Amino acid sequence: MLARQATDPKSTGDEWELIQIDVLTEKECAEVLSVVHDLIRYKSGTRLGAASYRTLPLIGKQIDKYPIGKQIDEYLYHRRAMKLNPIFRERLGWLYDRLAKTLADALGAPTRYPDDLALPGFHVIQKPIRETTVGPFRTGPAPHFDLQWQKIDWGDPSKVDFKLPLSFTLAVALPAKGGGLKTWDIRYDEYMKLDAVGRAKLRAVRKEEYHPYTVGQMVLHSGFQLHQVAPTPEFHPGDERITLQGHGIRRDGVWQLYW
């Protein structure tokens, strides 16, 4: 169940329910959307920005499965981040300032954007997102946990809270039929103890829930609950699903915001 008011996530341990916060007006969303369209030439696949979990080109291997301490590839991530960060700052500096303040207020701790990491970027989806089933396994948008923080070098681990990371999505534009997030009542620790067959069986019996997004609102969660982009099979002419995406890790009491 989505809640309007954010509370200190630490008060509930290493998990908290999805939190929904108003961030932008419709007019401000239209302004952001105009900039995204203007920067569309920088898009790679469905991503406008440098995502730390992006797929390696050609070989198609996901790079979000490295253990803690394994740094992300400088060419694939840092080089792109350093190219796009100044552009995002110039065109949407007010949005990133608003985002940092909103998250600081919601989480009850300061926030910052590390100089060596990518600013939160955009998922730009301009065609239907479909979901099919093959045997006991799903295809289409893959159910996953947000683990990209594991392959970034955060420095002294004693100063970093790895138990409660942050993921956030801010809807800028949605299809006429809507869009959102699908979750399962499955946590990371229990899921990773199972083999592929056991995971499929668990997903088949655990509660599945759809959380609709609202344009201008941001959804926060830890990333430790199994989730996926909810399918949007019906697209009208001109429909788009554009969201601002980002993550956070608390280091020295400060939330480090990145993509």
Which tens digit of pLDDT belongs to each residue from 119-154?
999 999 998 887 754 444 444 568 888 988 988 889
Could you give the CA distance from residue 158 to residue 155 in angstroms, rounded to a whole number? 9
Range from 72-81, 98-107, 147-156 carrying the lowest mean pLDDT: 72-81
Distances (CA, A) of 36 to 17, 33, 47, 130, 254: 30, 5, 11, 24, 29
pLDDT at 56 over 80: no
Other beta carbons less than 10 A from residue 212's beta carbon: 15
Tokens of 50: 């440098």
Mean pLDDT of the chain: 84
The amino acid that residue 76 corresponds to is L
Q: Average pLDDT of 174-201?
A: 92
The amino acid that residue 47 corresponds to is R
pLDDT grade, residue 11 (50/70/90)? very low
Distances (CA, A) of 243 to 71, 88, 124, 179, 233: 26, 15, 7, 10, 17
Q: What pTM value is reported for the model?
A: 0.84
> Domain 9-258: which CATH class?
mainly beta
pLDDT grade, residue 5 (50/70/90)? very low
Stated as kind and residue range, the H or E segment containing 163 is strand 160-173
